[in-house]
Structure 1
Amino acid sequence: MWLEDCTPTADGLDRDTRQNAACNFGFPTRLGLSIVVEMALISAIATASLIGFILYTNAKKWLRWRAAQRRISDKSRRRPFPWPSHLLFYLTTLLGFDFIVSLGAIFDIAWIRDAGIVEGPFCSAQAVLKQTGDVGVALSTLALTSHTFAVLFFRWKPSRSPLLACFVIGLIWLFLGLNDGLAWHFHHTKGQKLYGNTRYWCWITTSHTGKFKYYGIALEYIWMWVTALMNIFLYIPTALLYFGIIHQEEVEVKGHIKRKYSFNPRGNPDVKGDRSVGWLMMLYSVIYVVTIAPVSVARIMETVWDAKDLDKTVPFSATAIGAVFLSSGGLLNTLLYVNTRKDLLFTRENEIDESASEEEYKAVSRTTSPERELPSNFDVDAGY
């Protein structure tokens, strides 16, 4: 419930467009933030559930593999664990960052309760969660997109070992640590706070009186839009390949197999069965752009206006709608992958007994592989 002494009939934003303290939010603002929190809660539950399912199924798979290997007395006949696709590692990382984004939005409950922002450790924590989650979603999406493009467009076949995926994920976390940690270390001081009140929640301060006018763009939004552009540039050619507009063929040049690409604007009628894959590639890029576009446009406009000391402010309704879209990212990604990549998430459980031959083991690896049940021109061992 609202604080008993915090019941303004109108938003304090009408009187002070730069900063808010407790008792400055009226009912419309608190209602809008409540909708943001509700969407964030739904996304958090969805992403946490899918992450839990992925961890459970793969842990169960590993335990069964380990038990099967122990029953094989001849060590030379033991086989390595059939690791899931790199794509599953990137997807799990993406869902984890989606959960962090949702958690940052859920922190708005405090500002709804207080009818305004109260700076302090809780405020700084929300700012860090928002920055880490948003940039983490961007970078993990970029990793997932790049992997998909390399596998589907160039027919790259990554190793079954998860080392490359773990290395990429490690780089993402290293970048986030440096991006957040160095900014905090050098710029968050008693005299000038890097993280603080940004009108409706806590984030990187952009007030015209501070020195962090464009830090929000440099430390966060630039990475979100780089990922959005890369999604478009990488997924569209892949989609055109499956529409038959781009034709790929393998040719032998001086004893080496090389791929030759040609352009046919009318499309190739022989690939009609794979057009659904092309539309799927388009959908992946559209989902990400839709979730980040509204809030990033509103925030960039706000930053520029504040920096130029213009007496303008983005309507709260626009900011709230953008925040709802951003908070829905976890839910949308969960629904998208559950419905389009069942082969990746729902694998059949198989065991290898002591009498299993090498051919039988390979068959088991294929049936438990995340690449099964793909369109005809996918390679089952391609890594997608």
Structure 2
Amino acid sequence: MNTNGSGPSGINLTSNNHFIGDYLTHYLTRGQSVGLTIVAEASLASLLAVLYVFVIISRNVAWRVRNSPTNRWQVFYTPMDLLMFSLFSADLLQAIGGVMNLKWINDGKVQVGDFCSAQGILKQLGETGVAITTLLITLYTFLGIWLGKAIRSMKITRAVLSAAWLCIVLVVITGNAVNRGPNRMPFISPTPYWCWIGQSYIHWRIWGEYFWLWITLGFSIVAYVPLWLWSRGNIILDDHSWWKFTLQHADMDADPVLRGLRRRSLMMLAYPFAYCISTLPLSIVRWIGFVEGPSNISSTATLIVDTMFNLSGTFNVVLLLTTRPDSVLFGKQAHIPLGHALRPVQLALHSEGIQSIRRDDDTELGKLPSRS
């Protein structure tokens, strides 16, 4: 950090200014430029993948406008449509923020200014949006399978997502509005390899983004483990009381059709699982930074985990394309409803009627799971 002269924002950089831990300009080493290039490439891959999804959405909407006799202008039909659209919209913002690193690579330095502020805002919007939407997907899936309370209301889902995005936008606007003024460190500054909330505003980092990353990571892990055991047949849920369940050894000779139904019910949890893979290494590195200080984290570790983190959009698109959701918005329409998490009694009642399910339908995403 330069300790003399003046920065681009007019802040006098003398030894009397207590801006320790923040940078107004960070000059990239050759190794850091190479690492940041890989991060930018990962972001570019996610950006192109997400844009492809929006091409699919546009194609399906255009087809419906031309061919549907009724509700041709209705875009969203199910809560899954809304949740997935929110997820990919957040992925898009996060990917754009990552691709903006190309400017720093070209300049050889990361510097405060309008471009820096724009990158910080986009990264916070995208990363927090991905976290909260993933949390909602996990919550919807858990409610449908374990508690038997599937949320099928479009109004409720719209209200929840609108409130979530409104809170995200308000936090971003408030943080940038109240933390400005003379002799104050810029709210968005180099950190140091890209622009984000500066080290001086650690509380805004925690409550504006880290909190949601860690809550989503923790809840996804807590929810995934019992639901995965349920899908294997190790847990039998009570038909009448959601808090009652029985542990048993998995029956390897169980009806493969019933096992298929259980497996498909967990398809929506593939997105939280992918989120855990991309976010857990980043969280570990960030925790080390909190405990031991940012100076104890090597640039190599930071850039590696951020590369994985910026691939989250690519992971989500791969999941979408391989599962081919039963959705008017994102994919083909199935002839039968799939993805419902059924209780043992319901599984027995439905097993006879679903023997004709095609083998390739085993990868259908289906609807958000429920008991019914």
* Partner Cα distance (2:88, 2:136) in 1: 13
Pick which of 181-190 and 108-117 moved more: 181-190
Identical amino acids, percent of aligned pairs? 23
Q: 1:228 aligns with which of 191, 201, 217?
A: 217
Q: Does 1:302 align with 2:289?
A: yes
CA shift for structure 1 position 249: 4.3
* Partner Cα distance (1:134, 1:25) in 2: 24
Maintained 8 Å contact 1:135/1:220: yes
Q: 2:236 aligns to what SS in structure 1?
A: strand
Q: Does 1:172 align with 2:145?
A: no
* Partner Cα distance (1:82, 1:44) in 2: 22
TM-score, scaled relative to structure 2: 0.76
- Matched residue count: 323
CA shift for structure 1 position 94: 0.5
* Partner Cα distance (1:156, 1:298) in 2: 37
Equivalent position of 1:156 in the other structure = 149
Cα distance per residue 1:329-363 (max 9 Å; x no partner): 00001101221243343224xxxxxxxxxxxxxxx
Would the alpha carbon gap of residues 129 and 81 (structure 1) be closer, same or farther in structure 2, given more than 3 Å must change? closer
Equivalent position of 2:305 in the other structure = 322
Q: 1:44 aligns with which of 47, 57, 71?
A: 47
CA shift for structure 1 position 31: 0.9
* Partner Cα distance (1:215, 1:108) in 2: 22
Q: 2:177 aligns with which of 163, 170, 185?
A: 185
Q: 2:143 aligns to what SS in structure 1?
A: helix
- Which sections of structure 2, spanning at least 5 residues, go unmatched? 1-19, 355-365
Larger radius of gyration: 1
Equivalent position of 1:335 in the other structure = 318
Maintained 8 Å contact 1:127/1:202: yes
Would the alpha carbon gap of residues 314 and 52 (structure 1) be closer, same or farther in structure 2, given more than 3 Å must change? same
Q: 2:25 aligns to what SS in structure 1?
A: coil
Equivalent position of 1:123 in the other structure = 116
CA shift for structure 1 position 198: 1.2
Q: Does 1:372 align with 2:361?
A: no
- Which one-letter code corresponds to 2:250 in the other structure? G
TM-align CA RMSD: 3.2
- Which sections of structure 1, spanning at least 5 residues, go unmatched? 1-15, 71-79, 252-257, 349-365
CA shift for structure 1 position 27: 1.6
* Partner Cα distance (1:130, 1:99) in 2: 10
Would the alpha carbon gap of residues 271 and 158 (structure 1) be closer, same or farther in structure 2, given more than 3 Å must change? farther
Maintained 8 Å contact 1:235/1:282: yes
Maintained 8 Å contact 2:337/2:367: no
* Partner Cα distance (1:250, 1:213) in 2: 47
Maintained 8 Å contact 2:224/2:269: yes
